[in-house]
Amino acid sequence: MKRVGCYVRVSTENQLENYSIEEQIERLKAYCTAKDWAVYKFYTDGGYSGGNTNRPALQQLLVDIESKNLDIVVVYKLDRLSRSQKDTLTLIEDVFLANGIDFVSMSENFDTSTPFGRAMVGILSVFAQLEKDQITERFTMGRIGRARNGNFHGGPTPPTGYDYIDSKLVINEYEALQVKEVFRLFLEGQSINSIRKYMSSKYTNKYGNWASHTLVLNVLRNSVYIGKVKFSGQEYAGNHTPIIDINTFEATQKFLQSPEREDSKTIFQKNPFRANNLLTSLIYCKRCGARFCGNHGNYVCHSRGKTDSKMIKDPNCKNKKWPIGELDEFVQNEILKLAYNEEYFNEKVKGKALPVKSDKAILLNRVTEIDKQISRMMDLYQVGGIPLSEITDRIAKLKDEKDSLAEDLADKEDKRLTITKAKALLSNAEEVFTTGDIAKKRLYISSLVDYIEVDGEFLDIHFSF
C-alpha cells in the first residue's frame, strides 16, 4: 500500500473561502480511502502564506521525503502547495520527482506519474503565480488608496492616544493626556529613561504601561499625533484629530536629531539609559564581557557585584573594582590630554579602527521577523483564527523580546566621529569639566568615548573617532 503525505495549508485570506484546514483534511481523507492509499501523516501549516517555502509543516514534509517515508504527496489544490511558480516547479521536479515521489492535486485531477499531469503542473503554477501577484497588487493599491484618503491602516493596534473605532482613529482622552505629558517632559529636558520611569509609575494604557523606552521614543517620533498617516514611506494628511500641535512636534524632532541633544538651557541625552554616575553604561569587563555599574563608591563588574541577575555573564568573575572618583578623573584627564597634546591625539587616531562589538544585522533581522510574527497573529485574530487570550500572551512575549533587542541595538549604535568633529568637541573639554554638571559631563564623554574596557589594573578607552 502506498504511503501518502497529505499537505494542508491555509493563509489568512483563504480562511474566508472554502479551503479551511478541516475541509481540506476531510476531503483528502476520503480521496486517499477511495484510492486505497495509507495516510502516513497530515502536514498542516495554518496561517502561512504560499508565497515562499519557509513553513514548518512543509519543511517537515521535505525531511520525511528525504528519509524515504513517503511514496506520494497529495494536496487538495495546487496553490495549497505554493503560489510561486518557481517554488512549485522546484518542489515537484527537484524534490518530489527526484526522490521518486509522485505528486497529486485532488481538485485539478492530475498527478505527476503521467506526462499530461507533469505538463499541467507547469501550466497551473503560472496561473497560481498570476493570482498571487494580482492579490498583492490589489492589497497594496488598496492600502495606498486608504492612506491617500487619510485613513489609518494599522487595524486593531492603534497608537497610544487613540482608539480604532469604525475603521477610524478616535482620540482616547486619558491616553492623549499621557501623550501630551511625554512631549512636555522631553522638551523640559527629561531623558527618555526618566520619562519612562515617571510615566510607568503614574499611568497605564491599552498596552499595559510605559515600561519600555522604545514606546516613549516611538511616541515622540510618530507624526500620527499631528494628524498624519503613513504607508510605504509616504506621509499623507489624515482624517483624525491631532493630539500634538505642529510647533511642539517639530521642536521635539529637532532635539531628537541633534548630535548632543542640548541647548543653552536644557540637556537631552543621546543614549536613552540615564545613569547616576559619570561613566555608567560606558564601562565593560574585558574578562567576562559584562557591563560595570556604580555600587557603594566603586565601578563594579555586574558579574562580580551580582546587583542584577540579568546582567551577569560569569558569576565567577573577579575583575577589579575601581573607585568611581579615581576612574572618572582618569578618563577626564585622558580627554584633556587629547585636547591639548596634538601629538598624543594623532597617535590615538593613527590607524585606529572602531571595533565591532556585535553583528547589528542579526539583531535587526530578528526585529523584522518579530514584526512579521505580530502582524501575522493580528491577521489571524481578525479572521477568528486564534483566541484573544492566546494572541495577547504571544504578542506580549514578542514585544518584550523586541524591546530587549532595541536596547541591545541602542547600546551598539555606531557613534564614530570625524576627526574634525572630534577636535571641535575636544576644544570645549576644559569648560565642560570645570563648569558642567554631571549630566552635561556624561553627555560630553559619551559623545567622545565609545566604550571603556577594564582588565584588572589596565584600562583601555575606545574613542569614537
Q: Which residues, 6 or more positions from 339, have their beta carbon under 8 angstroms from its beta carbon? A: 345, 426, 427, 429, 430
Q: Which residues, 6 or more positions from 450, have their beta carbon under 8 angstroms from its beta carbon? A: 354, 415, 416, 462, 463, 464
Annotation says 49 is catalytic: no
The DSSP output letter for 287 is: T
pTM of the model: 0.35
Range of the domain at 389: 360-411
Same domain, 24 and 74: yes
- Where are the extended beta strands (E) located within 185-328? 228-231, 234-237, 283-285, 292-295, 298-301, 322-323
Q: Which residues of the chain have pLDDT under 70?
A: 12-19, 116-150, 153-156, 231-233, 258-276, 351-363, 378-392, 400-401, 403-416
Same domain, 32 and 96: yes
Task: Let me know the angle formed at the C-alpha of 87 by 11 and 50, rounded to the nearest 5 degrees.
Answer: 5
pLDDT of residue 262: 43
275: amino acid identity, one letter: A
Q: Which three cell numbers stand for residue 379?
A: 491577521
Same domain, 393 and 422: no
Q: Which three cell numbers stand for residue 125?
A: 503554477
Q: What distance in Å separates the CA atoms of residue 333 and residue 320, rounded to the nearest whole number?
A: 21
Q: How many domains does the chain have?
A: 4
Q: Which residues, 6 or more positions from 421, have their beta carbon under 8 angstroms from its beta carbon? A: 465
**Is residue 268 a part of any domain in this protein?**
no
Same domain, 197 and 125: no
Q: What 3-state DSSP class applies to 307?
A: coil
**Is residue 271 a part of any domain in this protein?**
no
Q: Where residue 72 sits, what CATH number does that domain have?
A: 3.40.50.1390
Q: Which of 355, 293, 340 is nearest to 319 (CA)?
A: 293
